[in-house]
Amino acid sequence: MTDLTSLRLARLQDHRELLGHTLRGIEKEGLRVDAQGRLALTPHPAPLGSALTNERITTDYSESLLELITGTRNDVDSLIGELEDTHRYVYAGLGDEVIWNQSMPADLPPEADIPIAWYGKSNTGTLKNVYRRGLAERYGKTMQCIAGVHYNFSLDDRVWQVLDLPGADEKAQRSAGYIGLIRNFSRFSWLLMYLFGAAPALSRDFLRGREHPLQAFDAETLYLPYATSLRMSDLGYQNKAQSQLKLCYNDLSTFLARLHAAVTQPWEPYSQIGTHRDGQWIQLNTNILQIENEYYSSIRPKRATRRGERPITALAERGVQYVEVRCLDIDPYAPVGISATTSRFVDAFVLFCAASESPFFSDNGFCQHSADNFSTVVTEGRKPGLLLSREGTPIALSDWGRELLDRIAPYAQLLDDTYGGDAYTQALAAQVEKIANPDATPSARLLADMRSAGASFKEFTLAQSQAHAQALRATPLPADKTAQYQEWARESVAQQQAIEAADDVDFDTYVARYMEAAQAPLVLPQA
């Protein structure tokens, strides 16, 4: 631990009451499937309200891909409790369908038959639909059916002052703190993939006959014997445009400048596709990214946006507000896809990343060593004797993992001192066991349980998903909570109708204005 890191930890201990104001939220994706594990081709269930405007229950890429969103909470128990409540409400409206509790997809129909999410006839809703048509053109529909858990995390603004981050004002100081957090997260996120990766296998049909490096687990299942998360590997991402993007995390201004370039510069293969086919929109534009959200990364700096505001504009004008951790697989052993233990460890891990000294990346703001470590762990993280690269020096994953957990331990204790009890320390202890015993990781457990059951990936996941569905349905929501979710659903439908009624230009004009705003010069914050 460096002198600066030790000083920051001491300051946090003196002001630990501020950590009680830490906020976290979850966005959990999950495919709807039928009783045989096949992708549900039914519309978004009416009891769930409007996918366009319901802030708690929406869809992601496909009409079948649910996204359940919590509010922000200052403690883990209420966060997981809210996610459980939302699952119970959803299950009351799913009929015989269940939520596929795995990151890698269910039994998918032919690519052309995977339904793209529909958000109504408003310009806003049509733009969301066309953006997803563009994703289908660029990456294929199958890859877009991969699901995950996104974990949003923010610290009280006063914490950045306690940590004495550089910056001319509070906004600059806060942004510098979050960008420094992201640099450290990039250095160490391989650890999350080892500890929580839960997608070492997939159905053979997922690859649609493409060449691959996977091995046969059984007639229906492919896997890699030491993989942790095939979801986060490059198996599904056959896109050279994004592979060329190396956004800089040394400062917010450079990050935004490079992101702005990606959403404003055409890419020749996309230009060849065009924006229309047979008179219909098939992508919003031919740029490297249609919009900012198309950039795939394991963590993002975020800022809440106003209606119609671009995320990049919000970040430039008001700075970073929170980070979105995007590399967590759905936990197949947790009924809602993530456990309180995982949530608590992520809290401690991200706090460690925020408080630890975070040197700039020297390679033009990008650290290739970190990217290579991440890629290695997702495909062979449990390989005996696996070596990673720490600043160019080989180090055993097990040695580095133990060292990092030792460095995270004071932050787990700090959170226990803040909230009371020892839940954070216990969450850390559970990860220590995984470093000592790779068979205790969820990726290893999943393969062992599939073998024990004599089940394919599809058979095992369907049985798990049905068991979770039965447990959630066995404890329905109280009447008052059900009524609240129903009211939110009704309000969302009315909001969608109001948006549709308010449209006063055709969609072509709407897109032209949207793209014109995107092309406007970006006023960058001072570095």
pLDDT at 291: 94
In this structure, are strands 149-154 and 23-33 parallel, antiparallel, or unpaired?
Answer: antiparallel
152-201 pLDDT per residue, tens: 999 999 999 999 998 889 999 999 999 999 999 999 999 999 999 999 99
Length of the chain counted residue by residue? 527
| 500 vs 486: CA distance, rounded Å | 22
Task: Map tokens 């932050």 to a residue.
Answer: 411
Of 223, 448, 422, 412, the residue nearest 333 (C-alpha): 448
| 97 vs 39: CA distance, rounded Å | 9
Q: CA torsion angle for 334, 338, 339, 342 (degrees, to 10)?
A: 140
Q: CA torsion angle for 30, 36, 38, 42 (degrees, to 10)?
A: -80
Please give the distance of CA 156 from its chain centroid, rounded to a whole number: 22
pLDDT reading at 113 higher than 80: yes
Instruction: Identify residue 170 by its one-letter amino acid code.
Output: E
pLDDT at 9: 95
64-101 pLDDT per residue, tens: 999 999 999 999 999 999 999 999 999 999 999 999 99
pLDDT at 106: 85
pLDDT at 518: 82
pLDDT at 362: 81
- 3-state class (DSSP) for residue 412: helix
The two structure tokens encoding residue 158: 């006063």
pLDDT at 416: 98
Q: Helix, strand, coil: what percent of the chain each, to 5?
A: 50, 15, 35
Query: Using CB atoms within 10 A of its CB, is residue 134 exposed (0-12), middle (13-18) or buried (19+)?
Result: buried
| 134 vs 511: CA distance, rounded Å | 14
pLDDT at 166: 86
Angstrom CA distances, 459 to 107, 203, 220, 229, 465, stand at 10, 10, 10, 19, 10
| 328 vs 344: CA distance, rounded Å | 13
pLDDT at 522: 85
| 431 vs 401: CA distance, rounded Å | 10
Return the beta strands (E) in 377-422 as ranges: 387-390, 393-396
What residues contact 317, with CB distance under 8 A and at least 6 apart? Answer: 523
Helices (H), 356-396: 368-380
Of 90, 68, 97, the residue nearest 80 (C-alpha): 68
pLDDT reading at 213 higher than 60: yes
| 308 vs 523: CA distance, rounded Å | 18
Of 447, 459, 380, the residue nearest 217 (C-alpha): 447
| 30 vs 394: CA distance, rounded Å | 38
Helix or strand run (H / E) with residue 328: strand 322-328
Question: What DSSP letter does each residue of 142-205 carry, written as one string?
Answer: TGGG---EEEEEE--HHHHHHTT---SSHHHHHHHHHHHHHHHHHHHTHHHHHHH--BSEEEGG
pLDDT at 480: 97
What residues contact 193, with CB distance under 8 A and at least 6 apart? Answer: 228, 229, 232, 327, 374, 377, 378, 381
Domains of the chain: 3-262+297-519 (3.30.590.20)
pLDDT at 274: 97
The predicted model gives 450-478 an average pLDDT of 97
pLDDT at 446: 98
CA angle 197, 205, 128 (to 5 degrees): 75
Greater pLDDT, 242 or 159: 159
- 3-state class (DSSP) for residue 323: strand
| 328 vs 147: CA distance, rounded Å | 10
Beta-bridge partners for 131: none
pLDDT reading at 469 higher than 80: yes
pLDDT reading at 241 higher than 70: no
Of 37, 269, 16, the residue nearest 158 (C-alpha): 16
| 177 vs 396: CA distance, rounded Å | 30
Instruction: Identify residue 162 by its one-letter amino acid code.
Output: V
pLDDT at 525: 82
327-344 pLDDT per residue, tens: 999 999 999 999 999 999
Greater pLDDT, 365 or 390: 390
Phi and psi, residue 395, nearest 5°: -150, 140
pLDDT band at 290 (very low <50, low <70, confident <90, very high): very high
| 466 vs 18: CA distance, rounded Å | 41
Q: What DSSP designation does 76 have?
A: H
